[in-house]
Amino acid sequence: MSKYSIIGTNTPRVDSPAKATGRALYADDIKLPGMLHGQILRSPLAHARILNIDISKAAALPGVKAVITGEDTPKVKFGNWRLFPDTQDEYPLAVDKVRFIGDEVAAVVAIDNDLACEALDLIKVEYEELPANFSVDESMAPGAPVIHDYRPDNISLNRKIEYGDLVKGFAEADFIAENTFEVHAVSHAYMEPCACVAQSDDDGRVTLWTSTQVPYIVQCLLASTLGLRENDVRVIKPVVGGGFGGKMELRAWEFCAAFLARRTGKPVKFRLSRTDELAYGRRRHGMKLYSKVGFKKDGTITAKDFRADLDGGAYNSMGPTATFLCGNFGAMLYRYPNYRYNGYHIYTNKPPAGAMRGFGAPQALFASETQMNMAAEALGLDPIEIRIKNAMVPGDQIPDVATVSSCGFIECLQEVAKMSGWKAKRAACAESRDGKGMGVGCYSFISGGVFNWLYTQYTFSAAEIRAFEDGTVHLLTPATDIGQGSDTTLKQILAEELGLRMEDIRLTVADTSVTPQSDLGTWGSRVTLMGGNAVRDAAAKIKKALAGVVSLKFDLNVIHDIGFKDGKIFPVTRPDRCLTFGQAVHMHQKFKRGEPLVARGYYVPRGKGLVTPAFSFGAQVAEVQVDRETGIVKVEKMYTAHDCGTVINPMSVDGQLEGSIEMGLGYALCERFVMDKGRTLNTTFLDYKVPTALDMPPGESVCIETFESEGPFGAKEAGEGLVSPTAPAIAEAISQATGYRFKDLPITPEKVLEGIGGLRKV
| Residue ranges binding a copy of itself (CB under 8 A) | 14, 17-18, 21, 23, 25, 29, 31, 33-34, 201-203, 205, 229-232, 234, 265, 456-460, 462, 466, 468-472, 474, 503, 506, 508, 513-514, 516-518, 586, 589-590, 593-596, 598, 600, 602, 604
Least Å distance, CB 201 to a copy of itself, is 7
Contact 369, 726 (CB under 8 A): no
Least Å distance, CB 564 to a copy of itself, is 18
CA dihedral 474, 478, 479, 483 (to 10 degrees): 90
The letter for the amino acid at 166 is: L
3-state secondary structure of 208: strand
Using the Cα atoms of residue 721, residue 726, residue 732 and residue 735 in order, give the sign of their dihedral. Answer: negative
Least Å distance, CB 514 to a copy of itself, is 5
3-state secondary structure of 551: helix
> Which residue's CB is nearer to a copy of itself, number 341 or number 581?
581
> What phi and psi values does residue 696 have, to the nearest 5 degrees?
-75, 130
Least Å distance, CB 420 to a copy of itself, is 39
Least Å distance, CB 567 to a copy of itself, is 12
Least Å distance, CB 517 to a copy of itself, is 4
> Which residue's CB is nearer to a copy of itself, number 243 or number 516?
516
> Which residue's CB is nearer to a copy of itself, number 368 or number 459?
459
Least Å distance, CB 197 to a copy of itself, is 13
Least Å distance, CB 316 to a copy of itself, is 25
Contact 476, 514 (CB under 8 A): yes
Least Å distance, CB 326 to a copy of itself, is 28
CA 350 to each of CA 90, 103, 344, 751: distance values in angstroms, whole numbers, following the listed order: 14, 9, 16, 25
Q: Rounded to an integer, what distance in angstroms lies between the CA atom of residue 83 and that of residue 75?
A: 19
Least Å distance, CB 534 to a copy of itself, is 11
Q: Rounded to an integer, what distance in angstroms lies between the CA atom of residue 616 and that of residue 642?
A: 8
3-state secondary structure of 696: coil
Least Å distance, CB 401 to a copy of itself, is 23
DSSP class of 354: B
> Which residue's CB is nearer to a copy of itself, number 223 or number 308?
223
> Which residue's CB is nearer to a copy of itself, number 467 or number 653?
467
> Which residue's CB is nearer to a copy of itself, number 34 or number 650?
34
> Which residue's CB is nearer to a copy of itself, number 458 or number 707?
458
Q: Rounded to an integer, what distance in angstroms lies between the CA atom of residue 96 and that of residue 148?
A: 11
Helix/strand/coil percentages in the chain, nearest 5: 30, 25, 40
> Which residue's CB is nearer to a copy of itself, number 452 or number 682?
452
> Which residue's CB is nearer to a copy of itself, number 223 or number 287?
223
> What phi and psi values does residue 162 have, to the nearest 5 degrees?
-150, 135
CA 183 to each of CA 246, 346, 361, 728: distance values in angstroms, whole numbers, following the listed order: 18, 15, 12, 11
155 Cβ contact list (under 8 Å, min separation 6): 140, 344, 345, 346, 347
> Which residue's CB is nearer to a copy of itself, number 431 or number 595?
595
For residue 40, the surrounding DSSP H or E stretch is strand 36-42
161 Cβ contact list (under 8 Å, min separation 6): 324, 327, 328, 331, 339, 340, 341, 398, 401
> Which residue's CB is nearer to a copy of itself, number 457 or number 557?
457
**C-beta neighbour count of 749 within 10 angstroms:** 16
